[in-house]
Amino acid sequence: MNRNDILRRIRYVFDFGDDQMIKLFALGGLAVTRVEVSDWLKRDTHKDYRACRDIQLAHFLNGLIIEKRGARDGPPPVAERRLNNNIVLRKLKIALSLTSDEMIEVLSLANSDMSKSEVSAFFRRTDHKHYRECMDQVLRNFLEGLRLRHRPDASTPE
């Protein structure tokens, strides 16, 4: 899934303003400007659109975890240079303190039925025999389920 689209959807789900977005990046260890955030949130057809890189999204997700769960003792989390959908899903699960059953519930809100073993396969080590790659549609459905859970009266953004 496009990193900018993930950023846009998370912003919409939690109704974050620009100041909150900047704060989340800062909590994750990356200082950004309002212009950078604005350009990352623009559609890819807009002339000022800039692609959000994996490491930038990782900083944001780390900031979201710190905002929702609090900072942990010890050194701050290191932002991954490369992200995949499994890592994004894991970071959202951690930030929102979701259990496997709650993740299944969120997915079912978006009409995506998965079993507990299917969901847990996304969080296994990549060399585990039951590891499963999280496809774009699963992450998209999860984000849509979050929208329906947190903003049930709002329509899907364009």
Are 39 and 97 in a shared domain? no
Are 36 and 55 in a shared domain? yes
Identify whether 158 is part of a domain. no
- Residues 15, 149 contacting (CB under 8 angstroms): no
Number of domains in the chain: 2
pLDDT at 42: 95
Are 146 and 105 in a shared domain? yes
Written as six digits, the tokens of 47 are: 């002339």
Are 11 and 68 in a shared domain? yes
pLDDT at 74: 85
pLDDT in tens, the chain (158 residues): 899 999 999 999 999 999 999 999 999 999 999 999 999 999 999 999 999 999 999 999 999 999 999 888 888 889 999 999 999 999 999 999 999 999 999 999 999 999 999 999 999 999 999 999 999 999 999 999 999 999 988 766 65
How many Cβ atoms sit within 10 Å of the Cβ of residue 150? 14
Among 56, 82, 108, give the residue marking a domain's end.
Answer: 82
Are 78 and 91 in a shared domain? no
Written as six digits, the tokens of 136 are: 């774009």
pLDDT at 156: 61
Are 7 and 64 in a shared domain? yes
pLDDT at 157: 60
- pTM: predicted TM-score of the whole model, two decimal places: 0.93
SS3 helix, strand, coil % of the chain, rounded to 5? 55, 0, 45
Q: Residue 26 belongs to what domain range?
A: 1-82
Helix (H, G, I), strand (E, B) or coil at 89: helix
Are 116 and 47 in a shared domain? no
